[in-house]
Amino acid sequence: MTEARLIYRSKLIYPDRAIREMVIWQLPEKTPEGPHGLKYRLYFGDLKGNCVRYDNETGKGDHRHLNDKEEPYNFTTVEKLVADFQ
């Protein structure tokens, strides 16, 4: 069995100590939950408690968290995912 391959990782800590981290893996095969063949997590959080996350954890599929609110996310492309996150 082939393992997932890391295709992008970036972590930035801002002067105000907010953190932005983006990690994207190419999966060895597509799945019903991940028909795009990717596993990802994009995170931004600051010391004021603001948090934005886009991820596709097993059992939930593509979704995003805007502070305490969670909602489905319609993944189309990596470029659109990053644009929506930013």
- For 28-43, how does the pLDDT look when each residue is reduced to its tens digit (9 = 90+)? 988 877 889 999 999 9
Mean pLDDT of the chain: 93
The whole-model pTM stands at 0.88
Q: Give the HSE-up count for residue 55: Cα atoms under 13 Å, Cβ half-sphere.
A: 17
Q: Is the pLDDT of residue 1 over 70?
A: no
Specify which residues 8 forms β-bridges with: 24
The answer for 83, left when phi > 0, alpha when psi is -120 to 50, beta otherwise, is alpha
Confidence class of residue 62 from pLDDT cuts 50, 70 and 90?
very high
**Domain spans of the chain, in order of start:** 5-85
